[in-house]
């Protein structure tokens, strides 16, 4: 079974995002960029499926600027087999990404598409579900456990009330949550080896997909700032304050 | 305009998050509420939804295929109804986040996630970058699909309405997926996302035993829900549904007590709209103190039992 893993190049999760002075967006100049953490988990899961013999080939795909090559190389260094870069400098919304991924899915026919549940830049949490709709495949979102059982995949999902398990007919779409696995670091020999793994360069036009935006961002602002409060000297002071707030029964 | 709200319900009662979503929907137009589920519980939930102030009509879809809110079955039902509506509003909960994008793609609509405010029929604000920025976006799609952040809207009154309930049918089992089971955390405490007080623990608690030994009695004293940082959940001190943060639950209680939580931006994203934030941490430079109204620097293993005892 082939596994397709879409990955996104985003601001590194350790960097504090700063809103541009002109209110047009978040300043990404000279900011460290990395693979979206949830996508890293998806790549890791695909590799583990391959190590267990459940997956035969891992194809990684990214929609983004030329620099997204670095993100794809990281995935190849972790253990993916080949990569596809769909290059564009435009900002691509989840619906358009899902349409591009549908075209790749039609071409590659993966048994499983593993994606991060959300990207930590736009926090949309849509692409996997949209891809599932467009391909007519079942979806196992927010996965904390993925088990291939013949022609089905059993997915344990992190939901508001706890955990929920669903059984999906393959081919299927699965989006990863934090507790699915801990991604490995690429070793130096594997980083070197990744440089020679195949990477196809495509454009949205190659897939005949219109990536024109549906949303216009009118402005981007910083949220209202909280002011730091007071440091108290003792538990007794805190008890008084909590009683003043009326939250003590 | 007329809008459709997908109502989430449990044990025959609409969820608080849906009451907030109905408040948001009131800003857009007349509200029809869809209750999908199975049997007596769904019927009871539909009747309760009809009483919510502001709901003009309730659509009840009663079928075994909708019992567990499987997206493969519920999304086609919702998408089929959307020819009659200008907008769909779902909760930004695990169910809403699962179903709404599937509907949006079926309708060829770009969804707007986690809506914080409705500025007009096509203009909305939403958080990006873990809430470090708020974007105002305008949609050019003919129909809108939104998920609504519950903490950004007040809850609609659960009584005062008298809508009619219409039973409808739609596509049922898509044959793609089935529900196997659930492990839900049963608790006598209030629900995390709608509690007035939340007590959260972090990695500094050191173990699952210490987490429960220290956090639970304090939460009991305060009538609080219990939350946790991602680090505490990853370390296995608390179950996943306790996680507060960018990718976990978003809470905005009257009082939020952060114990042994350093305050990573991903955690702050989930709680910084709380009324009063109390932080207890041994590191006086921890970022949590930059947002805390009341801070106490010290050893939580001494402070927390003393606090619990003195309350």
Instruction: For residue A213, give how far its alpha carbon lies from the nearest alpha carbon of chain B (Å).
Output: 9
**Where in the sequence is the domain holding A215, given as residue range(s)?**
2-244
CA distance A232 to B306: 15
Q: What is the DSSP letter of B27?
A: T
Instruction: Report how far Cα A107 is from the mean position of its chain's Cα atoms.
Output: 22
Question: How do residues B152-171 score in pLDDT, each as one tens digit?
Answer: 999 999 999 999 999 999 99
ipTM: 0.96
Q: Specify the pLDDT at position B92.
A: 97
Q: Specify the pLDDT at position A225.
A: 85
Question: What torsion, rounded to 10 degrees, do the Cα atoms B230, B232, B236, B238 define?
Answer: -90
Q: For B240, which of A158, A241, A247 is closest by C-beta distance?
A: A158
Question: Which of B82, B94, B116, B193 is the mutation pick for testing A, counting most A CBs within 10 A?
Answer: B94
Q: Decide if pLDDT at B280 tops 90.
A: yes
Q: Decide if pLDDT at A101 tops 80.
A: yes
Q: Give chain B positions within 8 Å (CB) of A162.
A: 182-185, 239-241
Q: Give chain B positions within 8 Å (CB) of A137.
A: 176
Question: How do residues A34-63 score in pLDDT, each as one tens digit?
Answer: 999 999 999 999 999 999 999 999 999 999
Q: Give chain B positions within 8 Å (CB) of A22.
A: none
Do residues A5 and A60 make contact, with C-beta atoms less than 8 angstroms apart? Answer: yes
Question: How do residues A135-172 score in pLDDT, each as one tens digit?
Answer: 999 999 999 999 999 999 999 999 998 999 999 999 99
CB neighbours (10 Å) of residue A161?
A: 16
Residue A249 in any domain: the answer is no
Q: Round the average pLDDT of chain A to a whole number and report it.
A: 96
Residues contacting residue A227 through CB under 8 Å, at least 6 positions apart:
none
CA distance B229 to B231: 5
Question: Which of A23, A159, A222, A240 is the mutation pick for testing B, counting most B CBs within 10 A?
Answer: A159
All CATH 3.40.50.620 domain ranges of chain B, comma separated, are 2-168
Question: How do residues B29-42 score in pLDDT, each as one tens digit?
Answer: 999 999 999 999 99
Residue A180 in any domain: the answer is yes
Q: Specify the pLDDT at position A8.
A: 98
- Mean pLDDT, residues B248-277 taken together: 95
**Which chain B residue lies closest to A229 (C-alpha atoms)?**
B293
Name the B residues in 83-112 with CB < 8 Å from any A CB. Answer: 93-95, 97-106, 108-112
Interface check A13 vs B, CB under 8 A: yes
Q: Decide if pLDDT at A108 tops 90.
A: yes
Q: How confident is the model at residue A224 (pLDDT cuts 50, 70, 90)?
A: confident
Question: Which of B78, B240, B254 is the mutation pick for testing A, counting most A CBs within 10 A?
Answer: B240
Residue A236 in any domain: the answer is yes
Tally of domains in chain A: 1
Q: How confident is the model at residue A228 (pLDDT cuts 50, 70, 90)?
A: confident
Q: Specify the pLDDT at position A92.
A: 97
DSSP letters of A40-83?
Answer: HHHHHHHHHHHHTTS-SEEEEEEEE-TTHHHHHHHHHHHT--EE
Instruction: Tally A–B CB contacts below 8 A.
Output: 261
Interface check B196 vs A, CB under 8 A: yes
Q: Which residue has the higher pLDDT, B247 or A208?
A: A208
Q: How confident is the model at residue A249 (pLDDT cuts 50, 70, 90)?
A: low
DSSP letters of A82-151?
Answer: EEEEEE-SS---HHHHHHHHHHHHHHH--SEEEEES--TTT----HHHHHHHHHT--EEEEEEEEEEETT
Question: How do residues B184-196 score in pLDDT, each as one tens digit?
Answer: 877 788 889 889 9
All CATH 3.40.50.1220 domain ranges of chain B, comma separated, are 192-310
Portion of chain B with pLDDT greater than 70, in percent: 100
Q: How confident is the model at residue B290 (pLDDT cuts 50, 70, 90)?
A: very high
Residues contacting residue A187 through CB under 8 Å, at least 6 positions apart:
A77
Question: How do residues B85-137 score in pLDDT, each as one tens digit?
Answer: 999 999 999 999 999 999 999 999 999 999 999 999 999 999 999 999 999 99
Looking at 3.40.50.620, 1.10.357.10, 3.40.50.1460, 3.40.50.300, the CATH number of the domain B2-168 comes to: 3.40.50.620
Q: Which two tokens stand for residue B36?
A: 């999908």
Do residues A6 and A140 make contact, with C-beta atoms less than 8 angstroms apart? Answer: no
Q: What length does chain A have?
A: 249
DSSP letters of A176-200?
Answer: E-GGG--PPPPPHHHHHHHTTS-EE
Q: Which fold has domain B192-310?
A: Rossmann fold (3.40.50)
Instruction: For residue A153, give how far its alpha carbon lies from the nearest alpha carbon of chain B (Å).
Output: 10
CATH number at residue A20: 3.40.50.620
């Amino acid at each position: 079974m082939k596994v397709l893993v879409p990955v996104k190049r985003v601001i590194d999760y350790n960097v504090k995002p700063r809103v541009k002075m002109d209110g047009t967006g978040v300043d990404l100049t000279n900011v460290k960029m990395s693979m979206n953490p949830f996508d890293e988990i998806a790549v890791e899961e695909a590799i583990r499926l391959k190590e267990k013999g459940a997956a035969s080939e891992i194809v990684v795909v990214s929609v983004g600027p030329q620099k997204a090559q670095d993100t794809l190389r990281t995935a190849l260094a972790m253990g993916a087999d080949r990569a596809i870069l769909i290059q564009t400098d435009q900002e691509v919304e989840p619906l358009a990404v899902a349409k591009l991924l549908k075209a790749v899915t039609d071409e590659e026919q993966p048994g499983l598409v593993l994606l991060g549940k959300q990207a930590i830049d736009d926090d949309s949490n849509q692409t996997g579900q949209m891809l599932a709709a467009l391909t007519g495949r079942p979806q196992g979102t927010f996965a904390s456990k993925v088990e291939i059982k013949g022609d089905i995949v059993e997915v344990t999902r992190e939901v508001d009330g706890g955990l929920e398990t669903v059984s999906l007919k393959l081919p299927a779409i699965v989006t990863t949550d934090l507790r699915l696995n801990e991604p490995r670091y690429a070793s130096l020999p594997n980083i070197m080896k990744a440089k020679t793994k195949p990477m196809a360069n495509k454009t949205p036009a190659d897939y005949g997909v219109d990536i024109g935006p549906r949303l216009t961002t009118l402005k981007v602002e910083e949220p209202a700032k909280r002011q730091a409060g007071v440091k108290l000297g003792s538990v007794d002071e805190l008890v008084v304050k909590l009683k003043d707030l009326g939250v003590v029964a | 305009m007329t809008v459709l709200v997908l109502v989430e319900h449990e044990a025959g009662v609409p969820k608080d998050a849906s009451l907030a979503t109905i408040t948001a929907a009131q800003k857009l137009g007349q509200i029809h509420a869809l209750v999908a589920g199975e049997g007596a519980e769904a019927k009871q939930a539909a009747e309760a939804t009809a009483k919510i102030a502001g709901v003009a009509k309730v659509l009840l879809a009663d079928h075994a295929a909708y019992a567990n809110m499987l997206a493969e079955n519920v999304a086609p039902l919702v998408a089929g109804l959307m020819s009659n509506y200008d907008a769909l509003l779902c909760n930004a909960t695990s169910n809403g986040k699962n179903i709404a994008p599937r509907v949006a793609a079926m309708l060829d609509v770009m969804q707007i996630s986690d809506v914080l405010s409705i500025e007009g029929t096509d203009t909305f604000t939403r958080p990006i970058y873990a809430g470090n920025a708020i974007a105002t976006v305008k949609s050019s799609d003919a129909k809108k699909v939104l998920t609504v952040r519950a903490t950004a809207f007040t809850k609609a009154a659960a009584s005062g309405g008298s809508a009619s309930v219409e039973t409808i049918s739609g596509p049922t089992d898509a044959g793609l997926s089935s529900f196997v089971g659930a492990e839900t955390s049963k608790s006598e405490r209030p629900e995390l996302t709608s509690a007035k007080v939340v007590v959260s623990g972090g990695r500094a608690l050191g173990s699952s035993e210490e987490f429960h030994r220290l956090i639970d009695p304090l939460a009991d004293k305060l009538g609080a829900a219990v939350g946790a940082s991602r680090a505490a959940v990853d370390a296995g001190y608390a179950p996943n549904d306790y996680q507060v943060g960018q990718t976990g639950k978003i809470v905005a209680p009257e009082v939020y007590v952060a114990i042994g939580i350093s305050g990573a931006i991903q955690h702050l994203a989930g709680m910084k709209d709380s009324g009063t934030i109390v932080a207890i941490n041994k590191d006086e430079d921890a970022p949590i103190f930059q947002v805390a109204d009341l801070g106490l620097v010290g050893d939580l293993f001494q402070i927390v039992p003393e606090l619990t005892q003195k309350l």
